[in-house]
Amino acid sequence: MKHLKAVIFDVDGTLAETERDGHRLAFNRAFAEAGLNWHWDETLYGQLLAVTGGKERIQYYLDNFHTQCGTTRDALLTIAKLHADKTRHYRTILQQQTIGLRPGVQRLITELKSEGIRLAIATTTTPENVTALITATLGEPALQWFDYIAAGDMVPAKKPAADIFNLCLQQLDLVATDCLVIEDSANGLLAARSAGLTTLITANGYTLDEDFHGAICVLDQLGEPGLPATVLAGLPIKGDYVTAQTLRELHEQAN
């Protein structure tokens, strides 16, 4: 029987609801600052989330929606500049501490750490955004709790490609069957499954209707005492919320 050695967390949508009131606002602030009359409303942003990575998302928008924007200034701007500005705005939003961790995240991370289960991160977002989110929510020392943070352009292909998870496994010196992933999106699930990883989903408003076929368990959240998680698909969990023991049991059943 394989023991659970590490839990690999996705960031956006999993650790925190960062997309609607974080990344989206930061993109819009960067567009406005650049004099562009582009605005990504909540619905449009939901569609654009199908494209992972902020630079890739802007490129996709230019390729597919540009004719509706009514701007002629795009030629003067590079995507890299827009994205760097967006990252600056995003970090400012996080520093204002308006975005907290999702229910159960801090409790579960603390519990895993105290039980000697290693922690790692595999995310599409930019490394400095991960640092900013962890610092704003758990405090700067918590950065040391994660044995490895795989992020953004460290790999050539972003999720749904397996690259970011393969990099993470390589750096942890573990194999896929040693680990369990917590994700929120179909793209994240595809990436993790392509790397051979057992995956638990905590869905959110943007991802609730996505195809989570292949996940060991799909929940609406990790849950907390007094705030029960609901199982949406896959294997049931014992109790009202996800604990280290829940993850051990799911991992054992998958491996």
The single residue among 28, 31, 129, 155 that binds ligand XBP, judged by CB under 6 A, is 129
Both tokens of 151, joined, read: 């992020």
The single residue among 4, 6, 7, 13 that binds Mg ion, judged by CB under 5 A, is 13
3 state DSSP class of 242 = coil
53 binds Mg ion (CB under 5 A): no
Of the ranges 70-78, 119-127, 195-203, 226-234, which one interacts with ligand XBP (CB under 6 A)?
119-127
Residue 173 zone, left/alpha/beta (φ > 0; ψ -120 to 50; rest): left
* Catalytic-residue membership of 12: yes
* Catalytic-residue membership of 147: no
Q: Are 83 and 54 in contact (CB under 8 A)?
A: yes
Q: Are 58 and 66 in contact (CB under 8 A)?
A: no
Which residue number, 181 or 244, has a Cβ lying nearer to ligand XBP? 181
> To the nearest whole angstrom, how small is the minimum distance from the Cβ of residue 130 to ligand XBP?
8
8 strand-pairing partners:
120, 181
Nearest to 54 by CA among 62, 222, 208: 62
Q: Which does 243 bind (CB under 5 to 8 A by kind): Mg ion, ligand XBP, none?
A: none
Residue with the shortest CB distance to ligand XBP: 54
Which residue number, 12 or 178, has a Cβ lying nearer to Mg ion? 12
- Catalytic residue numbers read 10, 12
